[in-house]
Amino acid sequence: MKKQTNASLLLGAAFLMATSAIGPGFLTQTTVFTETLLASFGFVILISIIIDIGAQMNIWRIIAVSEKRAQDIANDLLPGLGYFLAVLIVMGGLAFNIGNIAGAGLGTNVIFGISPEMGALLSGILAIGIFIVKEAGRLMDRFTQILGFVMIGLTIYVMFTAQPPVGEAVVKTFAPDKIDILAIITLVGGTVGGYITFAGGHRLIDAGVKGKEALPEVTKSSISAIGIASIMRIFLFLAALGVVSQGLALDPSNPPASVFQLAAGNIGYKIFGVVMWAAAVTSVVGAAYTSVSFIRTFSPVLEKYHKWLIVSFIAISTLVFVIIGKPVKILVLVGSLNGLILPIALGVMLVAAYKTKIVGDYKHPLWMTIFGVIIVAAMSYMGVYSLINGIPQLFK
């Protein structure tokens, strides 16, 4: 029985992380880069998957073996560092959650024709409902799994109707015409940046899957999570490639919607609505849960009322979108800050992996450390680049 429960928890953590990654931005980025790079975008996806796995395996293993959440590990390493990390995560999570709520509103607008604001409000209420029930963790796992399967299934259908040049995509994945570094960084940031990579790691801690004995399961779950997000990315890429390969132009105001519509007509457009809503609302749940998991350990009061913090987080995100409509310009800066979270957090974890007061007698594999250091260096460079370019945008 315990094995079955553990398998369910591991799958739940994997889907929570994957569906947190698959949000409105994920759908748009994948479509836009496919239109720009065509079949060569396959190479970008391949490289980003390798980087994603390297970052996530390191982070989840160290969280599991230390039996602590990331902010507590950071505070053990350097007092105050955990608070700094938590502020970055919560700011980034709130900013992206407003975008996720907006995406949920757009999805319901496509499906039912109601206003995006009303759709966002109803979606926010549904997400809040998940955390009010007694078995919130189990319901969250089940909710993200079901909608994850729905998204992937519908995207596979649209991919087949788009009839992509699969052979060309396979060849160009390993021998691209051009390499776009910014596209790789954008994909990595969208998959394991900000709060996303911690969603499943913190879920496993909450569920009691931790310690050295759990490492094989944790590693498997971390790779499965990247696998689920990557499967969705690949099918969406092929669907978009099928459309643009036919010489059809995508609507710049909503590229992913036009892929679904051009591939499968009006049914495709409705399918896009379902995929967009599912992607957005599962990201709302993941962002709220993970952001709050970064502050709940700071005081017994926060720990006791953490469910209501999650509810408040979703309510604030929803109200900001409903009242303001579009997220304010300050969110550009917050989005740029989000690019710096992965290298900071991964760097902290790699140092913590060699501190006996944090991990005991655990020995972190050298190849994982080297892999992690390369990712920290690359993502730091691009994070600073994105921050420098984000600040001028703020004052335009």
Domain ranges, ordered by start, for the chain? 2-394
Rounded Cα distance between 274 and 291, Å, is: 26
CA 245 to CA 165: how far, in whole Å?
8
Confirm if 280 and 103 have CB atoms less than 8 A apart.
yes
pTM of this prediction exceeds 0.95: no
- The identity of residue 254, as a single letter, is N
Angle between helices 136-162 and 255-293 (to 10 degrees): 160
Low-confidence residues in the chain, pLDDT < 70: 1-5, 325-339, 386-387, 389-396
Q: Which residues of 361-372 are buried (b: 16+ CB within 10 A; e: fewer)?
A: ebebeeebeebb
* Digit-coded pLDDT (tens) for 89-127: 888 888 888 888 988 998 999 999 999 899 999 999 999
Q: Which CATH architecture has domain 2-394?
A: Up-down Bundle (1.20)
Taken in order 98, 100, 102, 108, is the CA torsion positive or negative?
negative
135-183: per-residue pLDDT in tens?
Answer: 888 888 889 999 999 999 999 999 999 999 999 999 999 999 988 877 8
60 by Cβ neighbours in 10 Å (0-12 / 13-18 / 19+) ranks as buried
Q: Which residue has the tokens 């790079």?
A: 37
The amino acid at residue 269 is Y
Q: What is the pLDDT of residue 386?
A: 64
